[in-house]
Chains A and B, each alone.
Chain A
Amino acid sequence: MPVEITARKKPFRQRLRRDMRENWVVYLLLLPVIIWYIIFCYLPMFGIVMAFENFKFAKGLFGSAWVGFKNFQKFFSSYYFWRLLRNTLTLSIKDLIIAFPAPIIFALMLNELRSRKFKKSIQTISYLPYFISMVVVCGMVKTFTESTGIFSQISQALGGPKELISNPGSFHGIMITSGIWQGLGYGSVVYISALTAVDHELYDSAKLDGANRWQQTLHVTIPGIMPTIIIMLIMRVGHLMSVNYQKIILLYSPATYETADTISTFVYRKGLLDGDYAYAAAVDLFNSVINTILLVTVNWISRRKSETSLF
């Protein structure tokens, strides 16, 4: 009886206190994470104020003159506004369509392997690139795609562009392919663990019903890991506007700005290199607002359609 259940339930505060007493070790483990979020994610949010000010170091956050939306207007009327927005969106969406399913497919393929030894070695090999520093990876990518690099040589032989890394048309391709190469193994971990949780009896009954392996995958495995996929998708969309700017900065050049310059890299150049903090803060705030809107929208759609959602 529902009435009885609510009656027996103690108030949240009391339950929390009791839980804390019993599981204090777990809470202790959580503490650093909470501190990290407060220091690095919540406190810096006050800096947003800067975006509405004519920020001056000497006057500080509270003393600088208030200019309202001037910094935003400057960005919206900038020669580069549309290009930055276009590049950010196209690069992200391409990445979402191509790179997001890659680890899922990889996990499914691994799942079908019968030899444990082979499976383990494939997994280990595919993890390795993830642990190479981004600077080193980009150095390698550059070497391979310069005019004398192997990929550019192949492209030349096939009648393509002479040098891939300086060709605006191939920049997104380089970003995404190298991203998949680096993140495939590591990204598949979460799906592999979800796969182990799929009930084996379901496979047995599917077999009894005469399902072949492809049908088993389609009707048992994928529905089994669907909640994980959706949560990962929502989180990925939440990052849609925050492209991997460190990597872009390491790979782009004036020759490829046309397709490679994104909002985040623009913020980096304006803020850290030119020291125009207020302008950079405004541009970044715009980026975050779009991001939040996307996140909430996708979450809402997902809740309506599949009953899986973050919040």
Chain B
Amino acid sequence: MAKKLIALVLGIMMLMTVAVSGVAEEKNDLHIADDVTLRFFFDLDLAANVPGMQNYNDSDAYKWLEEQTGIHIEWIHPASGTSREAFNLLFASDDMPDLIYNSIPNGFVYPSGHDMAIADGVYANLKDYEDLMPNYMAIVNSNEILKRESVTDEGNRWCFFYIYKDGRGPNFGPTIRKDFLDKVGMDLPETYDDWHEVLTAFKEQLGIEIPLYVNKDTFMWYSEFAAGYGVTKDWSLNTEGKVIYGPCEDGYGEYLDMMQQWYKEGLIDQSFSVHDGRWPENDLLLNDKVGAFPVYTSWTGHDYYAKQGATNPDFNLVGTKIPVKEGGEAHYRMPDMLTNTYCIAVNAQSKHLEEAIKWMDAQYSEEVAFVMNYGVTEGKEDGSYYFDDNGPHWGGLITNNPDGLTQGQARQRYTTNNAPYEDYNRVMGTWTDIQRETQARLMESDYSAYISDSITMTEAEQEEFSDIMGDITTYATEFTVNYVMGNASQTFDEFRAQLKSMNIDRAIELKQAAVDRFNAR
């Protein structure tokens, strides 16, 4: 009797085990490891930007990911303004995080280059772990440009790029206040002459303090206003596909003369040399003191700035084309439209190297990518996403947040600000007609001036290049700002001669060689 009882109990226990493990297996599709904590350096000051968030563990998407993978992430978010310093200091410390955010255009890169980061044993060479990252590899291999961009000249794979699922169109450009235009009875400006007329009218008829806002560091972020002269503030490809350094070109001189004229007439921000922001501060903008400035397409229209506190009910921002000379064409650059600038490297010394790679790779799978893009709660009004015939869309939690979060804040709270495998439709799906038209206008320009961020130089080349450019960059910015303000002690030709004597030709040669190697990859 006792034996039977024991057998029965054992039998039931076995059944239960099977049942439990069955459930576990089903749930553990994405499971990577238990009790593993990865440290992730990521440049995003969430605590300062989103009410109620300290780091990404407060985001629904990453909470979900932790449940699924079993991996806990300890986020290291540097305070904004000190992030470049924090990044550089990572390499000097003995305590490198497992995952490290890089961004080439923003200067978050290992100082002596990607290949050296691998040779120095700092970043893991992901080429050796491709079997651990099937999702990422499948995406990269599906596109010729991505294939080239994701490796160095030496064929090293140094990071996980943040990729746009189907690419994205241009999303940043010059914008102007439509309500002001209507008041002065003018159309959207297209040529520089149009712009001059419009800005003058803003100034004289409406008394706008800053008809066009520009910024000191970038003097227009992507050089929107220089594109019509075929140049940018630094590196780009000319119409023949050759590398040029903008300030060395004739077009740059014309551009500066125009800006100087506009500055003198009070058409551009009189304090641009001390203003840090890429776009105007809210107290200027929301109080109708700014007529035009370059900004994200998503921020055009009325609603975005109404949420920021614009009290003028007529506030309406619309995008224009990239300005051109009469009868000319803009040769413009926009950052890569296939990848985001973010790129996550894995610490070669990490104790959890494989887990870190698997965790990153998981985010490129369809299932996880969906959550990263759209969050976890379904519902048109009160969820973070819903489906209709056109596919998924952001729900009311994000587009019309009940707690008063802006769309930008809500997407960080419920999804991620930038998903590793981002579906840009999630953003475009929320666009109004004004925003769609804005993008359509931007798309009329030619974007072939862009040099891929992924070109690489050898360590020696890199050193020579930064030695030359270290002084030149300061010099060129300084001259540009002073020339526009009418304070320059040199003429444009003297400036160009000075650039030559500072060895700019050698720097162009190095850049050209890197571009050629990139094209040959």
Contacts and interface: CB of A to CB of B under 8 A. Distances in A.
Contact of A277 (B92, B107, B122, B467): B92
Given A57-B92, A58-B121, A253-B481, A276 B466 contact: yes
B478 A254 contact: yes
Given A79-B502, A255-B216, A166 B274 contact: yes
Contacts of B88: 272-273, 275
Nearest to B480: A254
Contacts of A58: 91, 120-122
A199 B423 CA distance: 81
Contacts of B377: none
Contacts, number: 84
Given A255-B216, A257-B474, A274-B466, A142 B274 contact: yes
- Secondary structure type dominating chain A contacts: loop
Contacts of B274: 142, 146, 165-166, 253, 255
Given A142-B274, A166-B274, A275-B88, A257 B120 contact: no
Contacts of A258: 478, 482
Given A255-B216, A255-B485, A258-B478, A276 B271 contact: no
Interface residues of A, number: 32
Interface size class of B (residues with CB under 8 A): 20 to 34
A78 interface: yes
Interface in A73-92: 74, 78-80
Contacts of B466: 274, 276
B264 to A, nearest CB: 10
A253 B471 contact: no
A257 to B, nearest CB: 5
Nearest to A257: B478
Contact of B271 (A163, A256, A270, A274): A163
B390 interface: no
A219 to B, nearest CB: 49
A79 B473 CA distance: 12
Interface in A241-293: 253-258, 269-270, 272-277
Contacts of B271: 146-148, 163, 165-166
Interface in B462-497: 466-467, 470-471, 474-475, 477-478, 480-482, 485, 487
A270 B470 contact: yes
Interface string A51-89: 000001111000000000000001000111000000000
Given A255-B273, A273-B85, 12 more contacts: A57-B91, A57-B120, A58-B120, A74-B467, A80-B474, A142-B274, A167-B487, A254-B217, A255-B216, A274-B466, A275-B88, A276-B470
29 contacts: A56-B120, A57-B120, A58-B121, A59-B120, A78-B471, A79-B471, A142-B274, A163-B273, A165-B271, A166-B274, A253-B273, A253-B481, A254-B216, A254-B217, A254-B474, A254-B477, A254-B480, A254-B481, A254-B482, A255-B216, A255-B481, A255-B482, A255-B485, A257-B478, A270-B470, A272-B84, A272-B85, A275-B111, A276-B111
Interface of A: 56-59, 74, 78-80, 142, 146-148, 162-163, 165-168, 253-258, 269-270, 272-277
